[in-house]
Amino acid sequence: MKVKRGQNRERNGLGGMVASAALMAAALAAFALFSVQFGNRTGARDQETLKKAIARASVQCYAIEGRYPPSVEYLEENYGVMINRKKYHVFYDGFASNVMPDITVVPVTAAE
């Protein structure tokens, strides 16, 4: 009987190790998926925050100077807006000084 018990323990030990490894792999895969999704949500939030900051600075410029700023660079120089050019492209289309400009923020792709 001792021989059979020892063999069963070896089989259970090997099966337990395989089950533990499978559980660990599943946990790592779930963590990786969560990390990627969290990064995507954070990037989208950063993008929206930048767009709102540019819009607020534009309105502030209009309130102080009586006109919307001619460019994003003007906002950077005079109103403290900081844009990470390595991370985002900002398109600022103001066709008249008394009309709120159209602001678009697009993330830089890896291919660029």
What confidence category does residue 37 fall into, taking pLDDT thresholds of 50, 70 and 90? low
Q: Is residue 30 part of a domain?
A: yes
Distance CA 45, CA 76 (A): 20
Q: How many distinct structural domains can be found in the chain?
A: 1
pTM score? 0.62
Mean pLDDT for all residues in the chain: 80
How many CB atoms neighbour CB 3 within 10 A? 7
Q: Is residue 62 part of a domain?
A: yes
Q: Is residue 75 part of a domain?
A: yes
Q: Is residue 112 part of a domain?
A: no
Q: Is residue 31 part of a domain?
A: yes
What letter represents residue 46's amino acid? Answer: D
SS3 89: strand
| Predicted pLDDT at 25 | 72
* Cβ within 8 Å of residue 47, ≥6 positions away: 88, 105, 106, 107
Q: Is residue 100 part of a domain?
A: yes
Structural domain harbouring 75: 2-107
